[in-house]
Amino acid sequence: MSNIHPSSCISPKAHVASDAEIGPFCVVEAEAVIGEGTVIESHAVVRFGTRMGRENYLAEGVVLGGLPQHKQQSAQSGQLIIGDRNTFRENVTVHRGLGKDDRTEIGDDNLLMVNAHVAHDCLLGNHTIIANNVMLAGHVTVGNSAYLSGAVGVHQFCRVGAFTMVGGQARITKDVPPYVTVDGDSNLIVGLNLVGLRRGGFDRAQIQELKAIYRVAFRSGLSWDDVIESLRKQFPTSLGQDMADFMEATKRGCVQERRVPKQATIRLHLPESKSADEKQQKRASA
Residues forming beta bridges with residue 263, ordered by sequence position: none
Q: Give alpha helix (H) positions in the chain.
A: 194-199, 204-219, 224-234, 238-248, 272-285
Query: Which residue is catalytic, options 138, 161, 167, 196?
Result: 138
Residues forming beta bridges with residue 27, ordered by sequence position: 9, 45
Is residue 175 part of the annotated active site? The answer reads no
Is residue 121 part of the annotated active site? The answer reads yes
Is residue 120 part of the annotated active site? The answer reads yes
User: What is the rounded CA–CA span in Å between residue 194 and residue 210?
Assistant: 10
From the list 22, 77, 74, 71, the residue with the least C-alpha distance to 46 is 22
> Which H, E and C letters describe 253-265, residue by residue?
CECCECCCCCCCC
Are the beta carbons of 140 and 158 closer than 8 angstroms? Answer: yes
**Residue 71's CB: how many other CB atoms inside 10 A?**
5
Are the beta carbons of 125 and 109 closer than 8 angstroms? Answer: no
Main-chain dihedrals φ then ψ at residue 93, nearest 5 degrees? -125, 135
User: What is the rounded CA–CA span in Å between residue 77 and residue 238?
Assistant: 37
Query: Which residue is catalytic, options 84, 108, 121, 242?
Result: 121
Query: Which residue is catalytic, options 117, 120, 127, 139?
Result: 120
User: What is the rounded CA–CA span in Å between residue 51 and residue 32?
Assistant: 6
DSSP result, 220-254: S---HHHHHHHHHHH--SHHHHHHHHHHHT-SS-B
Q: Beta strands 50-52 and 141-142: pairing type? A: unpaired
- Residues belonging to the active site: 120-121, 138
